[in-house]
Structure 1
């Protein structure tokens, strides 16, 4: 077994193990709130709290199943589109926020302010907050190593070569309006988020509600959106030439996944807050502006990954064609 595959195997098992405490904590919150022995989160009623945490229980279970699928033999028998979609969304959630974990630790941000959105509950014990944070970081690190190893085994041709050495995105989906517009939409969303992270107040209804964590997460989302847009432009225009194709593919994968996953998660939460007005919850942004940005981010992320998938599929077909041609060439037999 190659060294990279061994590392991927260890990382996949480590990711599943790291996410297990988060799953158990969320199950205990649901059961405890239903039995009346644990408090519900601030700003929630019982049905809303149970629904939110039931959804995160399902997400954690899917994450553990994904980690195991990346290393167990049955993972190669699952339909490729299903593994790719779950891995894309999962890495968009967790791998993309690894820099946040580092920056928040350096800035002394409390571990309880995890990106999950439930860690800011004052009734949450400190040890639970630490376990939640460790689960996110462990799963993110595990995916960062295990996922490339899995993709390399299942679709080796898709990530080889360099920019400019074959058919690119332009031949695949560059002529389609959605594929052309997606990087521009992602860049526009990223620039707005970057403006907010830098302290801009246009579109911000309650500037006093902004926190250091909010600035960090908004700025990180902006950087991933801009990185994903730049990656798609690189693949579309085949510039700069000779750049390893795996680099823009990886940035496009994470950038589009971050846009889709995080805005897909925040969009219903934003709508809920805008219409239900839960007590004690006052988001900084104008609700209409936030909803429009999240809709744009989800749409752009989906269009971007479609372009990436078409590119990878085309390269795989081209590689298969080259192998068939070489096998059929005179003198190629034994």
Structure 2
């Protein structure tokens, strides 16, 4: 076991351990609200609050299982695509929060924590908020180490060499994901900078939301640039693992965060609950999230195709070398 594998094992176990308190908190919220011992979040009735938190319980349990699958022997026996997809969504959710956590500690007031609706109860104790933040940051850090180690073990040829080795990979990728990713980034960065076009309730904007929007806009730009580098094989001497990691994380952030926010946006648009709203125009926000989900999914498809193409090239080269040696 080399250094990469040791680090990956530590990251996987650490990620599972860090998220375990979040799972316990969410289960307690569901049970407490059903028996009348825990309050219900603003804008929700009992059924909606239970469904929402039950979904997050399932997400947390899945995240812990994925983290363990990346380091346990039984994980290598699981089908690769479903496991990688779950890990892609998990890293898309959590790894982009790492720069947000760093910037937030520098820019946000100490009493201005994240206000995400789904994870902030009406009377959330301070210790619960700390455990939630530790869970998210710890899971993100752990997956950021465990997932590359797993991918390196399972598909070592994909990460070898540099982007320009053998020219561009044999696939055709539609140009629109790069264009839409840049367009989404432009809107999010504009909102993060204080722009008001497309904002229905400017008074409800806060620095926390603007900072998260800006971080996600930055990841969207990185996803577009990295995917383009992978497909075109430029710059030629760049280590392949760099654009692969950036494209993976950026596309995952686009898909995961918008897939999470889209149902809330649609719920607010259709149900119009009292006391709950978003700063953004709901139609504009819904369109952006739909486009972001499609863009992230298409980028993942491009990465999977690129992996298959790279493996085909490597296999063909090996066979050709073997045939030449035989002759």
The TM-score with structure 2 as length reference comes to 0.96
Unaligned runs of 5+ in 2: none
Listed as ranges, the matches of 1:55-66 within 5 Å are 55-66=55-66
Conservation of the 8 A alpha-carbon contact between 2:108 and 2:208: no
- 1:204-237 CA deviation, whole Å, 9 max, x = no partner? 1111110111110100110011110111222233
* Distance in structure 1 (CA, Å) of the matches to 2:140 and 2:21: 14
Conservation of the 8 A alpha-carbon contact between 1:112 and 1:120: no
* Distance in structure 2 (CA, Å) of the matches to 1:71 and 1:109: 38
* Distance in structure 2 (CA, Å) of the matches to 1:306 and 1:20: 31
* Distance in structure 1 (CA, Å) of the matches to 2:60 and 2:103: 24
Listed as ranges, the matches of 1:23-62 within 5 Å are 23-62=23-62
* Distance in structure 1 (CA, Å) of the matches to 2:54 and 2:43: 17
Q: Which residue of 2 aligns with 1:267?
A: 262
* Cα gap change, 1:65 to 1:112, in 2 (>3 Å): farther
* Distance in structure 2 (CA, Å) of the matches to 1:116 and 1:197: 16
- Residue 153 of structure 1 deviates from its aligned partner by 0.1
Conservation of the 8 A alpha-carbon contact between 1:263 and 1:294: yes
* Distance in structure 2 (CA, Å) of the matches to 1:168 and 1:213: 40
* Distance in structure 1 (CA, Å) of the matches to 2:127 and 2:84: 34
* Distance in structure 1 (CA, Å) of the matches to 2:112 and 2:10: 28
Structure 1 runs of 4+ aligned residues shifted over 6 Å read none
Conservation of the 8 A alpha-carbon contact between 2:112 and 2:208: no
- Residue 87 of structure 1 deviates from its aligned partner by 0.8
Listed as ranges, the matches of 1:84-123 within 5 Å are 84-110=84-110, 113-114=113-114, 117-123=117-123
- 1:146-168 CA deviation, whole Å, 9 max, x = no partner? 00000000000111111221253
* Distance in structure 1 (CA, Å) of the matches to 2:99 and 2:121: 23
Listed as ranges, the matches of 1:105-254 within 5 Å are 105-110=105-110, 113-114=113-114, 117-169=117-169, 171-174=170-173, 179-254=174-249
* Cα gap change, 1:289 to 1:118, in 2 (>3 Å): same
* Cα gap change, 1:173 to 1:117, in 2 (>3 Å): farther
Alignment pair present for 1:11 and 2:8 = no
The TM-score with structure 1 as length reference comes to 0.94
Conservation of the 8 A alpha-carbon contact between 1:104 and 1:110: no
* Cα gap change, 1:200 to 1:112, in 2 (>3 Å): closer
* Distance in structure 2 (CA, Å) of the matches to 1:308 and 1:168: 13
- Residue 122 of structure 1 deviates from its aligned partner by 3.3
* Cα gap change, 1:123 to 1:116, in 2 (>3 Å): same
* Distance in structure 2 (CA, Å) of the matches to 1:31 and 1:291: 32
* Cα gap change, 1:56 to 1:81, in 2 (>3 Å): same
Unaligned runs of 5+ in 1: none
